[in-house]
Amino acid sequence: MTQTESPIIDNGVNIDALRGARQALTDAPEAAQFQWRATCEWVRGTHSRSTITDFSGLGAQHAHRQAFSIDADHPEVFASEDHGATPPEIVLAALASCMTAGIATVATNRGVQLRSVTATVEADMDLQGILGIDGDVRNGFSAINVTYQIDADASRADLEAIVAQSQKRSAVFDIVTNPTTVHVGLA
Amino acid sequence: MHVSAVIVGAGPGGLAMSHHLTGIGVDHVVLERDQVASSWRRERWDSLRLLTPNWMTRLPGYGYHGGDPNGFMTATETVEFLDRYRHTFDPPVRTGVTVRSVVRTADGFEVRADEGCWRCDAVVVATGASSRPRVPALATDLPRDVDQLTALAYRRPTQLTGDGRVLVVGASASGVQIADELRRAGREVTLAVGEHVRLPRSYRGCDIYWWLDRIGQLDERFDEVDDIGRARRHASVQLVGNDDRRDLDLNALQDAGVQVVGRFMALRGTTAQCSGSLANMVKNADLKQARLLRRIDEFVDEKGLSDQVGPVTDASPTRLGRPTTELDLRGFSTVIWATGYQPDLGWLPADAIDRRGRVIHDGGVAAVPGLYLLGQPFLRRRRSNLIAGMGVDAQDLGDHLRSHLDQRSRERLVR
């Protein structure tokens, strides 16, 4: 391995491409209109399998490199067979993944070399909501706590700023913290 | 009528520009819809004071010279200040002239008003940044029995009818000041908080604006910052200009009994849904404030001033309990929208405006040659929307305007 004079902060993020995309979409906002899609098929009981293959954006249709599938189920304590994570847990994974991607991007943009980033997510839920026992209790989480452990060449204040900025630019953070109108119907 | 330049608006910006154009010999007229400083006469709440101390309130050739340099002017005192300024050089102001449109002609511009029409080579838009309130679309869906008011229409606590809670939406200078005043008047107040800028009134014994001025922060230029679009959209600072020099951040408001919730995002029936992102908003504001205070500390160390100023202090983090994300609006009698202001620019030529209704410009020099903008947030520098920023911007833009006129004359000679 050769020694370089100054470390190249990369973090596996192609920051120049992202900066270029930001400029391109500023100039052509119609290309910024994306649609994300998933299909979900019932397997048996509470077990279902979602498949994600394609999306649209930049004025075209796009396919993922391969189809991805996610199994969801309920655990055995709910008298289910536990073939996958519960849907709320998948939401927590999505939240942490989204912000972690943001941390890598923001850190790279700010010239911070990351060595490790680990998020621990805990979310409280009162089951009296989804079971319809208490109408005052909501179905979803009453609170979500995310704790990051980050090993990087930066001060604690800089890391706090990176974590804060990653929330500000996170799609799932916005999806979770702010209301979204949802339409559900029969085809 | 033909003049070289028409300045629209006789507030601090228009007067500063008139002063500079007078100095460099550009014939011009200042058209004012009402009287000099009309928005300062009519569109401010009773208790409003400038955020900047009196010693900073300075326009080209004229400054504050009263006995209270560290105090803060009321709106009425600001009007008096501008009236006195005006009498120092007698600018060519035509009051009671409402400009309806500016049209580009083969030879420059035509400024059309009910009271007359002016042909000119240059137009300076100095009508202010706060002509119209910004109100989110969901305002139209609020329950009918909830009164709605904008910060621009707010005057005093007794103006509010009903005795329910008051929801103040927006935590910039307007929002925090109005929430504080209503709480002090005995109202139950909830403040919806999105992105905001926290600042202490004083730091290490000196006013925060003294520091911002000294460390050069107010002079940061539009072509030096990372993302000028974002810098221009920043909310105003959480400050109040008061003789007691108190802070007016979310801690102070909560200590006074104001309930703090996240940004008002949506309505479901009579329930206001507030963002769960408040903790992040607060953290961001705390981090940015800490960064600024550290910058001041570095400046103190660099200049060897530490013996002359107070000790380093750390601001206490903003306290948040577990803010609710839902408000039942049936308990509220009034919603006050302190969600920002925007300039009123519909009367400008269509090709001067982008699809979001903003003038296309580079530091106040519009893409339409001969058109200039003044007195907008971070127009040319961070101080651009302060009275203390009008002079230097007027000088830059007035000089540019002058060279534009010279070029027009040369072109006419060639023809």
Read out DSSP for A99-152? HHHHHHHHHHHTT--EEEEEEEEEEE--TTTTTTS-TTS-SS-SEEEEEEEEEE
Residue B3 predicted with pLDDT over 90: yes
B125 and B24, same structural domain?
Answer: yes
Q: Tell me whether B415 touches chain A (CB under 8 Å).
A: no
A153 and A102, same structural domain?
Answer: yes
Give pLDDT, residue A2: 43
| CA–CA dist A48, A50 (Å, integer) | 7
B297 and B350, same structural domain?
Answer: no
Give pLDDT, residue A7: 54
As a whole number, the mean pLDDT across chain B is: 95
Inside any domain, residue A48: yes
Q: With pLDDT > 70 as the criterion, what percentage of chain B qualifies?
A: 100
**Token pair recorded at residue A80:** 């289910």
A113 and A102, same structural domain?
Answer: yes
Give pLDDT, residue B122: 97
Q: Identity (one letter) of the amino acid at B306?
A: S
Query: Which among B178, B124, B118 has a CA at the least distance from the CA of B335?
Result: B178
Give pLDDT, residue A37: 97
Record: contact A164-B275, CB cut-off 8 A: no
Record: contact A168-B280, CB cut-off 8 A: yes
Give pLDDT, residue B2: 93
Residues of chain A with pLDDT under 50: 1-6
**Is the separation of the CB atoms in B62 and B191 below 8 Å?**
no
pLDDT 10s digits, B302-350: 999 999 999 999 889 999 988 899 999 999 999 999 999 989 899 999 9
Question: How many Cα atoms sit within 13 Å of B222 on the Cβ side?
Answer: 20
A115 and A57, same structural domain?
Answer: no
Read out DSSP for B182-210? HHHTT--EEEEE-S-EE--SEETTEEHHH
Give pLDDT, residue A14: 86
| CA–CA dist B230, B237 (Å, integer) | 15
Q: Which domain holds residue B231?
A: 134-337
Chain A, 151 to 170: residues with Cβ < 8 Å from chain B are 157, 160-161, 164-165, 167-168
Listed residues B337, B369, B388: the one ending a domain: B337
Distance in Å, alpha carbon of A144 to nearest chain B alpha carbon: 10
Give pLDDT, residue B360: 95
A126 and A56, same structural domain?
Answer: no
A65 and A42, same structural domain?
Answer: yes
B155 and B49, same structural domain?
Answer: no
A172 and A90, same structural domain?
Answer: yes
Record: contact A174-B283, CB cut-off 8 A: no
Confidence label for B404 from pLDDT (cuts 50, 70 and 90): very high
Name residue, tokens 């996610």: A70
Inside any domain, residue A168: yes
pLDDT 10s digits, B65-105: 899 999 999 999 999 999 999 999 999 999 999 999 999 99
Residue B194 predicted with pLDDT over 70: yes
A171 and A104, same structural domain?
Answer: yes
Domain count, chain A: 2
Give pLDDT, residue A3: 44
Q: B294-300: which pairs have CB atoms within 8 A and are 24 or more residues apart? A: B295/B215, B295/B217, B296/B203, B296/B204, B296/B211, B296/B215, B299/B211, B299/B214, B299/B215, B300/B204
Distance in Å, alpha carbon of A179 to nearest chain B alpha carbon: 7
Record: contact B275-A161, CB cut-off 8 A: no
B178 and B303, same structural domain?
Answer: yes
Confidence label for B412 from pLDDT (cuts 50, 70 and 90): confident
Distance in Å, alpha carbon of B276 to nearest chain A alpha carbon: 4
A91 and A125, same structural domain?
Answer: yes
In chain A, the residue whose alpha carbon lies closest to the alpha carbon of B287 is A161
Q: Tell me whether B177 touches chain A (CB under 8 Å).
A: no
Q: Give residues with Cβ within 8 angstroms of B224, minimum separation 6.
A: none
A109 and A52, same structural domain?
Answer: no
Q: With pLDDT > 90 as the criterion, what percentage of chain B qualifies?
A: 89
Bridge partner residues of B3 (DSSP): B120
Q: Give residues with Cβ within 8 angstroms of A86, minimum separation 6.
A: A72, A73, A74, A75
Q: Which of A26, A163, A173, A177 to mutate to test the interface with B (most CBs of B within 10 A)?
A: A177
- Burial pattern A19-48, b for ≥16 Cβ within 10 A else e, equals eeeeeeeeeeeeeeeeeeeeeeeeeeebbb
**Is the separation of the CB atoms in B126 and B343 below 8 Å?**
no
A91 and A80, same structural domain?
Answer: no
| CA–CA dist B231, B212 (Å, integer) | 16
DSSP B315: P
Chain B, 271 to 290: residues with Cβ < 8 Å from chain A are 273, 275-277, 280, 283-284, 287, 290
B277 vs A161, A165, A167: nearest CB: A167
**Is the separation of the CB atoms in B206 and B200 below 8 Å?**
no
Listed residues B296, B322, B337: the one ending a domain: B337
Going from the C-alpha of B88 to that of each of A181, A182, B15, B57, B191, the distances in angstroms are 59, 62, 11, 16, 43
Give pLDDT, residue A27: 81
Query: Which among A156, A105, A114 has a CA at the least distance from the CA of B291?
Result: A156
Listed residues A69, A84, A99: the one ending a domain: A84
**Is the separation of the CB atoms in B49 and B121 below 8 Å?**
no
B150 and B60, same structural domain?
Answer: no
Q: Tell me whether A179 touches chain B (CB under 8 Å).
A: yes
Contact pairs from chain A to chain B, CB under 8 Å: 38
Say which CATH number the domain at B103 has.
3.50.50.60
Domain count, chain B: 2
Say which CATH number the domain at A158 has.
3.30.300.20
Give pLDDT, residue B1: 84
Q: Which domain holds residue A112?
A: 86-178
Listed residues B292, B320, B337: the one ending a domain: B337
Distance in Å, alpha carbon of A24 to nearest chain B alpha carbon: 15
B352 and B208, same structural domain?
Answer: no
Q: Tell me whether A176 touches chain B (CB under 8 Å).
A: yes
Residues of B in contact with A143 (CB under 8 A): 322
pLDDT 10s digits, B208-244: 999 999 999 999 999 999 889 889 988 899 999 988 9
B348 and B399, same structural domain?
Answer: yes
Q: Tell me whether A138 touches chain B (CB under 8 Å).
A: no
